Every structure is written in C-alpha cells, then in structure tokens.
Amino acid sequence: MDHVDGMLPGGYWDQDGRLHRAVRLRPLTGGEEELLAGGGRAPAALVTEVLGRCVLRLGELEPPPSDVVRRLLVADRDYLLLRLRQLTFGDRVRAELVCPWAECGERVSIEFAVSDVPVHESPERAPTYTVQLSATAAAGAGDGDGDGEIGFRLPCGADQEELSSWAARDEPAALTALLMRCVQRIGSAEPPGEDRVRALTPLARVEIEAAMERVSPRVDRVLETRCAECGRTFLAPFDLYRFFFGELRTDAALLYREVHHLAFHYHWNESEIMAMPRAKRRTYLDLLAEEIERLNDGA
C-alpha cells in the first residue's frame, strides 16, 4: 500500500476560516529512517519533520506546508503517528510490560491492534473557544468589568516544539508558558498580555484546562490489559512518542547495510533505494535471501 486516507479527529483551520480534515499519508522510506536514526533533535521537532515528509495531502493543501504540519493539534499529530505506524508495519503491535501488582511483578507480553486504539473526535470544532469562569475563579481575571470570559485555542505541535525542553526542567513553568500561548483573550483584552495570564488564579487555570479538555480531540494513551501470570487487569500508560521512536528508530549501520546489499545485487543507486518504503525494501531483501539460498543449495 503506497498511501492511506483518513480524517483528522480535530482538523486544521486556515486563515480563511476553512477546516481541513481529510488527510493522505504515505509510509516511511529509508530517508525518514535515516532521519530518525540520526537522533539529536527533540521528539516534537522530529514528528514535524517526519509528518511534513509523509503527509501528502491535508484537505485542499497538497502538499501541506511544514508550518501547517507544525500547527496541527496535538491529537491530530498523535493520530497521524498511529496511522503512520500502521501503514509502515501493519496493524498488530506486540510489546513487553511489567505487571504493576507488587505480589506479581512478572514480565507480560501484550498484543493489540493500532486500529483498536480509541480516537475521539472533537465534540465542537472551532479555531478558538470561549469559557465563562465561575465567579470565584473570575476574581481579577477580567479587564475591570469582572466578566471572566476567556478565549482560547487548543495546543498544537508548535507549542510542543517550543516547550518540550521546559517540560523536562520545570513542568509548572512549562504549563504557565503553554497557557500564555493558548489564551487569546481575557475579558475584552485581546491579546491579554503575559502579566494578565500570569495573574490568573489557580482555580481559573483549572477551569480553563477543563474547558480545553472538553472540546479537545484525543487519542487514548492508556491501555487496559491482563497479566497472564496473576490474572489481574491493569491500566498501562501508552507513551505514543516513546513507542513511535522506539520502534521506528532504525540502527543506521543496519540501514546502510541493507542499502549496500540491494545496491550490490540490483545495481540501484542510493537515492532509489532510500526512496523505497520500508516494506518494499524488506521484500526485495527477502527475495534476495531466498535466491542466494537456492543458488547455494544447487552448488
């Protein structure tokens, strides 16, 4: 399969107010594997780079500019990573976990399908949203009229890129910075300015975050599984980025050996081989192995 079509659970709003959701995605090639093998970049930036190469079409944008991919909602990027994994490796996933029950602690093998991971569409699609804070939370939030009406947008890939290094060092500061990026209006103040966002009460922040969660699309990041040893069920957190990069990151030496093997036998140049999807490259390698074995058996 050279591509897959889908619908983003959220979608991208362009400057003309048009919503783009239909997406076409191609599988990874050796070029993306080489990029992932190199490392040295933050995961969010790598996701933007990989999706920028593999997303062939987004709504009427063909191909979508890299800045559009960067500004896709977090859940939309998660959805695309899931579909990219499915297209490159197939639907079935096998993983190893440790049973969290203290009386057990055994290593557990689990298997699930990418297509079974719940993807929840946004219940209300809009480029920006409004929430009315409670009277207690609104104290000091407005511009003097005390209305406490907050306008906000949802977090996107650009926010992840900008704040990923902060999150590792100082999570509270990163959350404040995210709020300053996403809150578009407080009362009649638009934009509200950093000082006004920083002055929001803890309760106001909680209510804004809850409003964001209510209207956000999402990909479930928790899997329910059962320990084969003790028979008890437990919830396993599903770190999508770690899963994606852990599985798709290819050892550079192995990739180059595969390229060398195909170039040596088929006389293709490097760019031709690196442009192949992973599955097609592995198919030729399997065929070569069978042919070499047949020739050796006949010697």
Taking only the tens of pLDDT, the chain with its 299 residues reads 688 899 999 999 999 999 999 999 999 899 888 887 776 678 889 899 999 999 999 999 999 999 999 999 999 999 999 998 888 878 887 777 788 877 888 887 777 788 888 899 999 999 999 999 998 888 755 545 556 899 999 999 999 999 887 766 777 788 888 999 999 999 888 888 888 888 899 999 999 999 999 999 999 888 778 887 888 887 877 777 776 676 666 677 888 999 999 999 999 999 999 999 988 998 999 999 898 888 887 65
Give residue 141's pLDDT: 58
DSSP string, 91-157: SEEEEEEE---TTT--EEEEEEEGGGS-EE--SS--SSEEEE--HHHHTTTSSSS---EEEE---BH
- Enter the pTM of the model: 0.86
Give residue 147's pLDDT: 62
Give residue 140's pLDDT: 55
Which strand (E) or helix (H) includes residue 214? helix 202-215
For residues 110 and 258, state if they share a domain: no
Give residue 241's pLDDT: 73
Give residue 75's pLDDT: 95
For residues 14 and 91, state if they share a domain: yes
CA 202 to chain centre: 29
Give residue 134's pLDDT: 92
For residues 71 and 170, state if they share a domain: no
Measured CA to CA, the distance from residue 44 to residue 216 in angstroms comes to 19
> Rounded to a whole number, what is the largest CA-CA distance in the chain?
91
For residues 50 and 139, state if they share a domain: no
148: left (phi over 0), alpha (psi -120 to 50) or beta: left
For residues 19 and 115, state if they share a domain: yes
Residue with tokens 């800045």: 67
Distances (CA, A) of 270 to 19, 63, 177, 235, 261: 39, 25, 44, 44, 11
The structure tokens listed for 104 are 């057990």
The residue among 216, 233, 261 that closes a domain is 216
For residues 113 and 256, state if they share a domain: no
The structure tokens listed for 273 are 């081989």
For residues 33 and 156, state if they share a domain: no
Give residue 51's pLDDT: 95
For residues 116 and 10, state if they share a domain: yes
The residue among 248, 264, 290 that closes a domain is 248
Give residue 1's pLDDT: 66
For residues 13 and 72, state if they share a domain: yes
Which parts of 26-74 are beta strand (E)? 55-58
Q: How many domains does the chain have?
A: 3
For residues 32 and 85, state if they share a domain: yes
Domain that holds residue 11: 4-121+219-248
The residue among 169, 196, 216 that closes a domain is 216
Give residue 253's pLDDT: 81
Measured CA to CA, the distance from residue 24 to residue 7 in angstroms comes to 9
Give residue 255's pLDDT: 87
The structure tokens listed for 236 are 């396993």
For residues 144 and 81, state if they share a domain: no
For residues 69 and 90, state if they share a domain: yes
